[in-house]
Amino acid sequence: MPSLHAEVLAARRRSTTDADWASFEARFEVEFPRLKDLFSRIYGEGSGDQLALLAVEAANSWQDRPAHLKAIDAARAQTPDWFSSNRMLGGVCYVDLYAGNLAGVRAGIPYFRELGLTYLHLMPLFLAPEENSDGGYAVSSYREVDPALGTMEELASLAAELGDNGISLVVDFIFNHTSNEHEWARRAAAGDPEYEDFYLIFRDRHMPDAYERTVREIFPDDHPGSFVQLDDGRWVWATFYSFQWDLNYRNPAVFRAMAGEMLFLANQGIDVIRMDAVAFIWKQLGTACESLPEAHLLLQAFNAVCRLAAPSLLFKSEAIVHPDEVAEYINPGECQLSYNPLQMALIWNSLATRDVSLLDQALERRHATPPGTAWVNYVRSHDDIGWTFSDEDAAELGISGFDHRRFLNSFYVNRFPGSFARGVPFQDNPRTGDCRISGTTASLAGLEAGDPGAVGRILLAHSIILSTGGIPLIYLGDEVGQLNDYSYLADPAKAADSRWVGRPPYQGGRYSQMEDPSTEAGAIFSGLRRLIEVRSATPEFAGGHLLPFFTNNPHVLGYQRPGVFDGEESIILALANFADTRQDITAGTLSGMAPDAVDLMTGAIVSLAAGRSLDPHEVVWFRCRTGGGRS
Ligand code: GLC
Ligand code: GLC
């Protein structure tokens, strides 16, 4: 492709130094062939024009990239596993709800540091329709910040300031759909053929009916099926809300346009982009239109574009689907990071059942990820909790997936006798039996119900995400035990979406108690802070390598984190009691561990020779040398 190479060479500006340009060219040699190959697999041979435009755009974007970001690119190229450190800790919040605006986020930096955050995910902060915006997940312009929150310049300077404080900035890349108020959508609605082809718009029900035979409903409370009707009678694909129109990635111009938006964001100083709703981006008649092979090719192509022009930008996959499918997005050439919805759901499962077998099984067979990747582990997100475990895995343990999901749903919405949880159903679909759960960590764990085990459960749940490897992600406000917020029911734009119950505004009252451990907020905060401190002082918790540990007690989860401490091989043994009663681990069970272990929470040297009892919801982390004669 000499001519294309010539075009890219011609994009070089006089001001660009030789060394800087050489670094681009070196990456071009490697990444461009990869991109070209992906393009031809997705689009066939007729897409060369778009590819050429994209290559030139990448060259321009690199030259526009601020010097301080290029310095980060260079540093991270030397330490590609920077995100695997045991000091990595994430927080996530809505800018408006948590901090009012970007200036408020900036003012929060001292607190984020105190908590130990090194990663901050600000939920969508782009221009979006005023009322119906799905909490910002309906984007009207990727290049404008919602004026109520601030400006793009402020976002860029916030990114720099966070970076100076050791905190990476994560924002969403909502690339499956735009809002119906996006310029492209407006033009499509007006009948401009160039932009009609940016979406999936059909004159009549023929194709929508054909697709809907095999596609599942995501937001059935909003509209049945996957299409909504426009005023002029046409139908547009809308997987989520009717005002979120799916982009048509069969059109290479859409890929190029979105790649441009991605590079624009990257150059504002974003470290990680959260790839929203990855499973849905490619549609194929006769299939479920989820996690199709082309979805992966598209992500790899976006990844290649990034490596060219914003080499240190990482992707985090948001695939809330079957665990086999979740795993397919995780690799260094696609998404380096991924939410771990299985671990999240199974933490809640174990809290409800007081049985750890499903979680134990998941740690054993579904925890390992390829080198150069990591999980983002979380207790809950801003979304619903869906029971995404594999029915086949459950069947091996004698559990019927369908019946068990029904139990979990009734438990978490307090329709099960004795439940401690106060969740709210989300998208309860009586036709399919599908239902998910909304609520804050504290309300789901029993704090709202006044259950005496609540604080212990909250800390236990967080201990799992803090010690299994990868990046733990705290939903800000949960560290002081924020409760469900039912005020959404009074807002017509939110009332039908129960996820808002779990998105309270900043809880000033609870934060004011965080230093007083006699309060619930203080007990949760001090317990969590201790876990965070211990983790960050424990190098064995870096990376994701985990070995199962069978406790011979169905209520107690065990796992081991091998590593190196003080120049010697070492293993952390984690035990977590999910029961509301005291539980014993026998001496025999612990006999493989050298008897003198360090209890990391207290620093004391303890003997495991006689076994160990755990209080209700107690978590222990022991630094051991394994038996094998190394004591
Ligand atoms: C993601 C977001 C969710 C949103 C959906 C559509 O799953 O987390 O909040 O509703 O995408 O953008
Ligand atoms: C998205 C939505 C979530 C939904 C899921 C279904 O992740 O945010 O609410 O459960 O898709 O796959």
Beta-strand ranges (E) seen in 223-266 are: 227-229, 235-237, 244-246
Domain 546-624 carries which CATH code? Answer: 2.60.40.1180
Q: Give yes or no for residue 627 having a pLDDT over 70.
A: no
Q: Is 128 in the pocket of ligand 1 (CB under 6 A)?
A: no
Q: Which atom of ligand 2 is nearest to the CA of 319?
A: 7
Q: Closest Cα to atom 12, ligand 1: which residue?
A: 137
Q: Is 174 in the pocket of ligand 1 (CB under 6 A)?
A: yes
- What tokens appear for 119 in the block? 């990663």
- Ligand nearest to the CA of residue 174, numbered in listed order: 1
pTM of structure: 0.96
Q: Is 542 in the pocket of ligand 2 (CB under 6 A)?
A: no
Q: Which atom of ligand 1 is nearest to the CA of 135?
A: 9
Expressed in angstroms and rounded, the spacing between residue 240 Cα and the centre of ligand 1 is 8
Q: Which atom of ligand 1 is nearest to the CA of 138?
A: 12
Expressed in angstroms and rounded, the spacing between residue 320 Cα and the centre of ligand 2 is 6
Beta-strand ranges (E) seen in 255-378 are: 272-275, 314-317, 337-339, 374-378
Among candidate residues 103, 105, 120, 168, the one with its CA nearest the CA of residue 506: 105
Per-residue pLDDT band at 626 (split at 50, 70, 90):
low
State the SS3 of 3-61. Answer: HHHHHHHHCCCCCCCHHHHHHHHHHHHHHHHHHHHHHHHHHCHHHHHHHHHHHHHHHHH
Dump pLDDT digits (tens) for 75-110. 999 999 999 999 999 999 999 999 999 999 999 999
**Residue 561 and residue 572 in contact, taking contact as beta carbons nearer than 8 Å:** yes
Q: Is 386 in the pocket of ligand 2 (CB under 6 A)?
A: yes
Expressed in angstroms and rounded, the spacing between residue 496 Cα and the centre of ligand 1 is 15
Q: Is 383 in the pocket of ligand 2 (CB under 6 A)?
A: yes
pLDDT of res. 625:
79
Note the Cα 259 to chain centre separation in Å: 21
- Ligand nearest to the CA of residue 426, numbered in listed order: 2
Among candidate residues 259, 285, 133, 260, the one with its CA nearest the CA of residue 200: 285
For residue 186, give the 3-state DSSP assignment.
helix
Q: Where are the domain boundaries for CATH 3.20.20.80 in the chain? A: 347-352+378-386+409-543
Class of domain 183-246: alpha beta
Residues 185-192 have a mean pLDDT of 98
Residues 527-551 have a mean pLDDT of 98
Q: Is 399 in the pocket of ligand 1 (CB under 6 A)?
A: no
Expressed in angstroms and rounded, the spacing between residue 278 Cα and the centre of ligand 1 is 10
Per-residue pLDDT band at 132 (split at 50, 70, 90):
confident
Return the axis-axis angle of helices 357-365 and 341-353, rounded to nearest 10°.
Answer: 160
For a substitution probing ligand 2, which of 218, 226, 497 has the most ligand atoms within 8 Å of its CB? 218
Dump pLDDT digits (tens) for 244-261. 999 999 999 999 999 999
Residues 63-73 have a mean pLDDT of 98
**Residue 240 and residue 137 in contact, taking contact as beta carbons nearer than 8 Å:** yes
pLDDT of res. 241:
96
Residues 596-623 have a mean pLDDT of 96
Q: Closest Cα to atom 4, ligand 1: which residue?
A: 137
- For the annotated catalytic residues, the residue numbers are 276, 318
Q: Is 540 in the pocket of ligand 2 (CB under 6 A)?
A: no
Expressed in angstroms and rounded, the spacing between residue 23 Cα and the centre of ligand 1 is 37
Q: Which atom of ligand 1 is nearest to the CA of 239?
A: 6
Q: Where are the domain boundaries for CATH 2.60.40.1180 in the chain? A: 546-624
**Residue 625 and residue 588 in contact, taking contact as beta carbons nearer than 8 Å:** no
Residues 345 and 339: their CA atoms lie apart, in Å, by 12
pLDDT of res. 47:
87
Dump pLDDT digits (tens) for 459-498. 999 999 999 999 999 999 999 999 999 999 999 999 999 9
Fold of 347-352+378-386+409-543: TIM Barrel (3.20.20)
Dump pLDDT digits (tens) for 372-389. 999 999 999 999 999 999
Q: Where are the domain boundaries for CATH 3.90.400.10 in the chain? A: 183-246
Q: Which residues pair with 565 in a beta bridge?
A: 568
Q: Which atom of ligand 2 is nearest to the CA of 318?
A: 7
Q: Is 276 in the pocket of ligand 1 (CB under 6 A)?
A: yes
Expressed in angstroms and rounded, the spacing between residue 386 Cα and the centre of ligand 2 is 8
- What tokens appear for 468 in the block? 């299994």
pLDDT of res. 510:
98
Per-residue pLDDT band at 432 (split at 50, 70, 90):
confident
pLDDT of res. 628:
41
Per-residue pLDDT band at 431 (split at 50, 70, 90):
confident
> Vertex 620, ends 618 and 623: CA angle to 5°?
175
Q: Closest Cα to atom 8, ligand 1: which residue?
A: 383
Q: Closest Cα to atom 8, ligand 2: which residue?
A: 383
Expressed in angstroms and rounded, the spacing between residue 308 Cα and the centre of ligand 1 is 28
Residues 589-613 have a mean pLDDT of 93
Residue 205 CB contacts under 8 Å (≥ 6 apart), including other chains? 235
Expressed in angstroms and rounded, the spacing between residue 385 Cα and the centre of ligand 2 is 9
pLDDT of res. 631:
31
| Backbone dihedral angles phi then psi of residue 260, each to the nearest 5 degrees | -65, -40
Dump pLDDT digits (tens) for 282-316. 999 999 999 999 999 999 999 999 999 999 999 99
Q: Is 246 in the pocket of ligand 1 (CB under 6 A)?
A: no
Q: Give yes or no for residue 55 having a pLDDT over 70.
A: yes
- Ligand nearest to the CA of residue 240, numbered in listed order: 1
Q: Closest Cα to atom 12, ligand 2: which residue?
A: 320
Per-residue pLDDT band at 592 (split at 50, 70, 90):
confident
Expressed in angstroms and rounded, the spacing between residue 344 Cα and the centre of ligand 1 is 17
For a substitution probing ligand 1, which of 179, 217, 240, 494 has the most ligand atoms within 8 Å of its CB? 240
pLDDT of res. 221:
87
